[in-house]
Amino acid sequence: MEALIRLAFALLARLPLRVNHALGAGLGWLAWGLRTDLRRVSLINLGLCFPEQDAGWHRRVARASLMETGKTLTEAPWLWHAGPQRIAALRQAGEGEAHLTEALTQGRGAFFVSPHLGSWEYSGLQAVSFGPMTNLYRPPRMQALDAPLREARQATGAQLVPTDRRGIRLIKEALARGEIVGMLPDQTPKGAQGVFAPFFGQPAMTMTLLPKLAAHRHTPVVFAFAERLPRGLGYRYRCIPAPEAIYDQDPQVAATAVNHAAEALIRQCPEQYMWSYKRFKVRPADTPGRY
């Protein structure tokens, strides 16, 4: 199985990026046209998060989101095989990148926090250009994917660490050296590692790990995503500083700040958010399920 996965990755990596993206968009279009569960969940999430928009807007954004998610699937092997120089060449002038460079000058390290928006594979690979980087890594469910993913995501120099005590220790050591730590803020945390906090007005189980680690030394936190440009022309960063409330000792207040910062980015480019993820699957007690 691992050999077949590596072969598929290699074939996708050989395509021109524009063609690769067209293939991914086609897969997303099929997911929409075949009325898959991905389509159903996307429409539910958009209805919950943007109730002020009409059904036509929900359908347009859901369809575009699935096409962008398809590009995420096909472009990942391309990016993994591209190498540092080609990765760097795809970076176009962005917005707010100074927030990260200024944060690193403080000598306390910085958190680079990217939701499932735009090309998070690109941002994870290219952000090492700002400085040494450590990324939290949750192994995939399919074991055969683990080794290829680890190798690929460390190809430009980033270090992957597990979401356990050892990983937390390595993160603290990286921050002590003034380095960057990458995190995804919108995955549902396991066990008791989160609290319910509003996300687009809906209660969502939200990570508390980021605020806890950041509060220890008041480490700067920058939220960012790599916007995918049309026709394979590249990517551009959009970065914003985290609200001060992310350092609050109240986990609820801090988690709400995490979600508000993620929302601010998503509103800039809702078509490139992965609305097919069941963000509201975990629900407060005695409340009905969403899916």
Which tens digits make up the pLDDT trace of 123-178?
Answer: 988 888 888 899 887 766 767 666 666 776 776 667 888 778 888 899 999 999 99
| Extents of the domains making up the chain | 2-272
Pairing status of strand 202-207 against strand 180-183: unpaired
Tell me the per-residue pLDDT of 9-51, one tens digit each, with 9 for 90 and over. Answer: 778 889 999 999 999 999 999 999 999 999 999 999 999 999 9
pLDDT at 152: 66
pLDDT > 80? residue 278:
yes
Across 106-265, the runs of DSSP E, i.e. the strands, are 110-113, 133-137, 159-162, 180-183, 194-199, 202-207, 221-228, 235-241
Q: State how far the Cα of 120 lies from the Cα of 25, in Å rounded to an integer.
A: 17
pLDDT digits (tens, 9 = 90+) for 227-265: 999 999 999 999 999 999 999 999 999 999 999 999 999
